[in-house]
Amino acid sequence: MGAIVALPPARGPHPVGCTDVLVGHSRQGLFLRLFYPCVARPGAAEPLWIPRAEYCGALADAALRRRCCSALLSIAIGSCKVPVSWNEPLKPRSSGYPLIIFSHGLGAFRTLYSSLCSELASWGFVVAALEHRDHSAATTYFCPAEAGTEEWIPFQRVPQGQKEFYFRNKQVHQRAQECVRALRLFQDIAGGRSVPNILPQGWDLSVLKDSLDLTKVAVLGHSFGGVTAVLALVKEPSFRCAVALDAWMFPLENLLYPEVAKPVLFINTEKFQTPESVAKMKRLSSRNSQTRIVTVLGTVHEDQSDFAFLPERLFSLIFGRRGTLSPHKALAITSRAALAFLHRHLELQEDFGQWEQLLEGVGDSVVPDSPFTRSHL
């Protein structure tokens, strides 16, 4: 049976390569998927979208709360591939690529934003999509040196009797710290330190040594990852700006809002945000005049992930009603707004300024600020 999910190919000028990076043998290590401009080669292999069967089961449990759907999900999406080249060589560039650290949402993992990450890579970025180890991923794993097998870290719901804020606040601080550690990893590589990738696939991280411009680093994320990106700005001065897709602002403590001095681009969908959440975003926009809030009309929360490209019936089965805007158009608006914002705040040379009007909420299917509509979720 062929895959019934077709992820869109990236539209930028660079072919996109992809590899997985696993560093360290403990929970304190890092696991990420790297998207990067590559040297194109006919017939290059493409990676699976859902990298292993364990992720299908965990996704069924975390997203649907129905483990029994694991087999159905595996049949429906298990053979889907990402239209990028697996493990191909990095495309050389004398000036160095800017770096983006990407943080996934609650119950997701490193591959579920491949459409956006590969789109950004096709415009000349190296994008590191983390898989968080705070029990907010659908599942993830690490490889203890002595065990010889993986140790899995399952998704965890809020324990009974515990206040959700305190549980999620602890997680968001761990997630933001993982974003900082990911940046440290690339700083170590750029400094010439040997960083072994313990996965047996042979992509040598040292090729990045002279290929990154670490004066131009941003942090992006969706939902729980969106607020993670905001907090990462507080924890790490090297992050120059953040793009927060439909940020779930709930887990961030109030005393931190005055600390977010860097600019943030909030790109919201029409059906997820609440007045309380948008009020928190506006606290940040009053702190920094370069912070922007825009809403993409006709979209729901999952439209900012690869789930937007699920067939109608499967999407409805998992998430309920979907948005009215074409997912291809939603991806184009989101990526172009992000590129214009990164162009402005990372001081890039490329012509991403052509999409700057999106930052003011000007354009088809985009408006400034956020309609106060509550999620059906």
> Sign of dihedral through CA atoms 47, 48, 49, 50?
negative
Give CA separation, 21 vs 29, 92, 109, 296, in Å: 10, 20, 14, 33
Work out whether strand 97-103 and strand 30-37 pair parallel, antiparallel, or are unpaired: unpaired
Indicate which residue of 70, 114, 211, 223 is catalytic. 223
Taking the C-alpha atoms of residue 287 and residue 280, their distance in angstroms, rounded to an integer, is 11
Q: How far apart are the first and last CA of the chain?
A: 31
Pick the closest to residue 127 from 135, 136, 117, 113 (CA basis): 117
- The answer to whether residue 134 is catalytic is no
Cβ–Cβ under 8 Å, residues 224 and 169: no
- The answer to whether residue 301 is catalytic is yes
Q: Could you give the angle at the alpha carbon of 245 between the alpha carbons of 261 and 125, nearest 5°? A: 80
Cβ–Cβ under 8 Å, residues 209 and 96: no
Query: In sequence order, what are the residues at sequence separation of 6 or more whose Cβ sits closer than 8 angstroms to the Cβ of residue 256?
Result: 231, 234
Give CA separation, 85 vs 193, 276, 287, 298, 305, in Å: 27, 42, 42, 32, 20
Taking the C-alpha atoms of residue 264 and residue 262, their distance in angstroms, rounded to an integer, is 7
Indicate which residue of 104, 132, 222, 301 is catalytic. 301
Which stretches of the chain are assigned E, i.e. beta strand? 16-23, 30-37, 85-86, 97-103, 126-130, 139-142, 151-154, 212-222, 239-245, 264-269, 292-296, 366-368
Indicate which residue of 246, 305, 345, 370 is catalytic. 246
Which residues belong to the active site? 223, 246, 301
